[in-house]
Amino acid sequence: MSARFFLSLCLITLLASGTWAQPSGALLIKAGAILDVRTGKMLTNQQILVEGGIIKAIGPALKLPDGGLELDWSSYTILPGLMDCHTHISGQSDGNYYDRFRKTLADMAILAPVYAKRTLEAGFTTIRDMGSTGFLDVALRNAINEGKLQGPRILAATYYIGSTGSHGDMVGFSPWLTFKFPEEMTGVSDGVDGVRKKVRYLVKNGADVIKFGASAGVLSEEESVGAPQYTQEEMNAIVSEAHMWGKRVGAHAHGTEAIKMAVRAGVNSIEHGSLIDDEGIAMMIKSGTYLVADVYNDDYILAEFSRLGFPQKIIDKERLVGQTQRQNFQKAVKAGVKVAFGTDAGVYPHGDNGKQFAHMVKWGMTPLQAIQAATINAADLLGLSDKAGAVEVGKYADLIAVFGNPLTKIDLLEANPNFVMKGGALVHP
């Protein structure tokens, strides 16, 4: 590390500490190479000028404005900050299955900023949080946006909207056992009027995006993993209501029929998509619906969840869908379904998000396609194409720098990048 570079690093770190707001001065980053995520071209001999947290210029010989700082990343490949379109930032399944009944909202609120920081340090500068309790994701998003905490940009779904007895409810317990949630503090709702009201309530309280359960799930105790859990009318109502408020919708859907129902309802993304068939694939291509498939999860669940005391029924459900989901993901990729990167982080430890890249490549994508899923495609799904997802003039200076070429070695993205910048502030190391 050159003395000049070290000095710059210290200054940037100082600038970035205190509050996590973006630095005021200009930055000139000397790039080893910049990956153009649209074409896969490696642009060499480039510099990036950052001002006010935004990329102002990219070119071979830029001038650093007076008082600006230079960053020497000439040994590294620069990529846009990564995006994970499916996280659960308020929790993590690293304790015991029954921890969920022992923890309070305060326990979760204490740990959520830690998870957010780990996610950011792993190179994920934007996340779409697909279900958190107690509006924790909204609070976290706001604190990060106000520069009080360090973390990724967050699009918050708040509560998972699910029917009574669904994946989003508490299932598998004695009916004598009652959980005293005020109605407003769960996503459980039924009927066309009920789900419309729930969407309105979540939007009123800060939801950026709406998530609902179209089908049963794995990590819950319903018998089925894929049966539909809302009627077509209820799904239509959720989607039309959310769209009326200008919010996009992601549907949790493992089951073959539930996927089709959700696509018919007009969702923007299918989450998991495990048991999709050829007709479902054709429907998604026709409607341009994104697939967000958590193809790393199965490894972690089968390795850890028995030890964590999860009921055998849940482990069996995972065995039922895990490999099929990957084979179907491969089919969908081959057919040309649009894919955005999303991992279900929180099921596995936050910060390990990048482990999914190698799986996406193993199951049919080129390394460039996997990177596009986490950059331009994710930005498109999230409605952020004009602001993020590529190293381009006018976009946020959300950048990561890695040592080597991820197009030939995708698992480079598994470890924390050498540098992570968000909005022009160096946030890692």
Closest contact distance (angstroms) between CB of 317 and ligand ARG is 8
Q: Does 221 bind ligand ARG (CB under 6 A)?
A: no
Among 27, 321, 370, 374, binds ligand ARG (CB under 6 A): 321
Between 126 and 215, whose beta carbon lies closer to ligand ARG? 215
- Taking the complex as a whole, the smallest distance from the CB of residue 292 to ligand ARG amounts, in Å, to 11
Q: Does the footprint of ligand ARG cover residue 93 (CB under 6 A)?
A: no
In this structure, are strands 124-129 and 399-402 parallel, antiparallel, or unpaired?
A: unpaired
Interface with ligand ARG, residue 298, by CB under 6 A:
yes
Size of the site for ligand ARG (CB under 6 A): 15
Q: Which stretch binds ligand ARG (CB under 6 A): 98-106, 184-192, 213-221, 396-404?
A: 213-221
Nearer to ligand ARG by Cβ, of 112 and 143: the residue is 112
Tell me which residue has its CB nearest to ligand ARG: 217
Applying CB under 6 A, among 188, 344, 399, 422 the residue interacting with ligand ARG is 344
What is the DSSP track for 16-35? HSSS-PPPSS-EEEEEEEEE
> Applying CB under 6 A, which of residues 218, 249, 378, 388 lies at the interface with ligand ARG?
218
> Which amino acid type is present at position 88?
H
Residue 148 or residue 362: which is nearer to ligand ARG going by CB? Answer: 362
Distance CA 280, CA 329 (A): 12
Among positions 249-278, residues that touch ligand ARG (CB under 6 A) are 272, 274
**Binding piece for ligand ARG, criterion CB under 6 A, among 148-156, 314-322, 381-389, 398-406:** 314-322
Q: How many distinct helices (H) and strands (E) make up the chain?
A: 13, 14
Q: What is the 3-state secondary structure (H, E, C) of 261-329?
A: HHHHHCCCEEEECCCCCHHHHHHHHHHCCEEECCCCHHHHHHHHCCCCCCCHHHHHHHHHHHHHHHHHH
Task: Give the strands of the sheet with 82-87, arranged side by side.
Answer: 82-87, 124-129, 153-156
Interface region with ligand ARG, contact rule CB under 6 A, candidates 277-285, 316-324, 333-341, 368-376: 316-324
260 vs 232: CA distance, rounded Å: 10
Q: What is each CA distance from 161 to 96, 108, 209, 284, in whole angstroms?
A: 25, 20, 12, 22
| C-beta of 28 vs 219, nearer to ligand ARG | 219
Report the chain's C-alpha Rg in angstroms: 21
**Cα dist from 56 to 18, 51, 385, 396, whole Å:** 25, 6, 17, 9
Q: Is 297 in the site for ligand ARG (CB under 6 A)?
A: yes
Q: Out of 51, 121, 241, 318, which residue is the one contacting ligand ARG (CB under 6 A)?
A: 318
- Residues in contact with ligand ARG by CB under 6 A are 217-219, 272, 274, 294, 297-298, 301, 318, 321-322, 325, 344, 347
